[in-house]
Amino acid sequence: MTTLPQQVQKITAHIPVDLLHEAQSVTGKGITETLKIALIQLARANTYEDLKKMRGKVKFSIDLKELRKDR
């Protein structure tokens, strides 16, 4: 998978060392990659919350039985 070049911003952050080490042990990655993963997950969590608020408010005209026939 090829990723597009992105703008980056160098920052200084004060993060509790034990929290950082715990996160790194989960990801198995370095500091920058661990922070990227955390930021992506936070952004996605917000999107999921927005979608959950829409539950029951969006009507679909799709027949699930018809969709399953394509499998």
Across residues 1-8, what is the average pLDDT? 73
Q: Is the dihedral of CA 50, 22, 36, 8 positive or negative?
A: positive
pTM of the entire structure? 0.63
Q: What is the pLDDT of residues 29-70, one digit of tens each?
A: 999 999 999 999 998 998 888 888 888 887 777 877 887 886
Q: Could you tell me the two tokens for 40?
A: 């992506």
